[in-house]
Amino acid sequence: MKKVIGIDLGGTKINGAVVDESGEILKWDTLSTSKSGSPEEVMYGIKELVLMLSEGENISAIGIGSPGFIDSVNGKVLSVGGNIEGWAGTEIKSPLEKEFNIPVQVENDANAAGLCEAWIGAGRDMESFVMLTVGTGLGGAVFTRKEGIWRGHHFQAAEVGHSILYPGGHQCSCGQRGCTEEYVSGTAIENEYERLSGIKKTGKEIFDNFESDSIARKVVGRFTWDFAMFLITIKNIFDPQAVIIGGGVILSKEFWWDDMIGNFESEVNNDPGMIILPARYFNDSGTIGAARAALDKILEAD
């Protein structure tokens, strides 16, 4: 049975796993990264993690899930690099193939998460779904059983985090103002808390003090409203069978999920029954999906 490595590159850490053809994780490890780290530092971290995971293993391919607009054919970050400073324009595929002498497949991180959930996760029995990854930023993937992941003509399909939620609103790193990920993401929650209180706290600290901190409750309430309005837009544009929500913020869903669903149901027009559910693999779906992309790469070659 073939083994591959899946790497999920996030704004604060790099997760990696050795995964077999059934989707089972055989080995797992992680390294911290930094939004302000140079592309060279990030690539060094990816190589270090691959070396750690591949020790004593016969690895057939490597899959990388990366933030930003990703040319999945050439394995390169395009003009928007997501939440890693200087990441736009980075070549990922060619240096890794040169270093390890095995095939490398690079996908947008949300597309990788969608591949996982379609393979062995919450979408495995779905004909169509939109995957949302709510973490440092907001990523999206559109999947249909017939066509697979929709990447778009310019590899920019389902960049839902950069849809405009509030025209002229908060400045986004992509250059636009009012992007949805400036209101619906872990970073958005932290930024809004700081705007209202003048105090900088992590998302975990905000949720840990949810019951006793009125500002935290206000921030999370705004988040649930904005998220619900965004879900209505997703429903009206794509009409998917389901929306599957993953990413790091899903781990705190006890504080916001029910209110988000309530806001959606109170405002949506003519809902035909779109299912909204958490990812089966929560924050691990990007890593497993990157491995799935690597498996697809070598299976196509066979």
155 φψ region: left (φ > 0), alpha (ψ -120 to 50), beta (else): left
Q: Does residue 37 sit in the same domain as residue 132?
A: no
Q: Write down the pLDDT at residue 184.
A: 98
Residue 97, domain extent: 3-113+283-301
With contact defined as beta carbons under 8 Å apart, do 19 and 288 qualify? yes
3-class DSSP state for residue 286? helix
Q: Write down the pLDDT at residue 218.
A: 97
Q: Does residue 136 sit in the same domain as residue 248?
A: yes
Confidence of residue 81 (pLDDT cuts 50, 70, 90): confident
Rounded Cα distance, 125 and 130, in Å:
14
Q: Does residue 137 sit in the same domain as residue 268?
A: yes
Rounded Cα distance, 20 and 2, in Å:
6
Over 70: is that where the pLDDT of 36 sits?
no
Residue-wise pLDDT for 218-230, tens only, equals 999 999 999 999 9
Query: How many domains does the chain contain in total?
Result: 2
Q: Does residue 288 sit in the same domain as residue 264?
A: no
pTM value is: 0.89
Q: Does residue 131 sit in the same domain as residue 208?
A: yes
In a domain, 120, yes or no: no
Please give the share of the chain, as a percent, with pLDDT higher than 90: 82
Q: Write down the pLDDT at residue 35.
A: 54
Q: Does residue 109 sit in the same domain as residue 151?
A: no
Q: Does residue 21 sit in the same domain as residue 38?
A: yes
In a domain, 37, yes or no: yes
Q: Does residue 99 sit in the same domain as residue 184?
A: no
Is 271 one of the annotated active-site residues of the chain? no
Q: What angle do CA 268, 272, 131 make, to 5 degrees?
A: 80
In a domain, 33, yes or no: yes
Q: Does residue 106 sit in the same domain as residue 215?
A: no
- CATH number at 52 reads 3.30.420.40
Catalytic residue, candidates 8, 29, 71, 109: 109
Q: Does residue 102 sit in the same domain as residue 196?
A: no
Residue-wise pLDDT for 102-115, tens only, equals 999 999 999 999 99
In a domain, 174, yes or no: yes
Q: Does residue 136 sit in the same domain as residue 275?
A: yes
Q: Does residue 202 sit in the same domain as residue 181?
A: yes
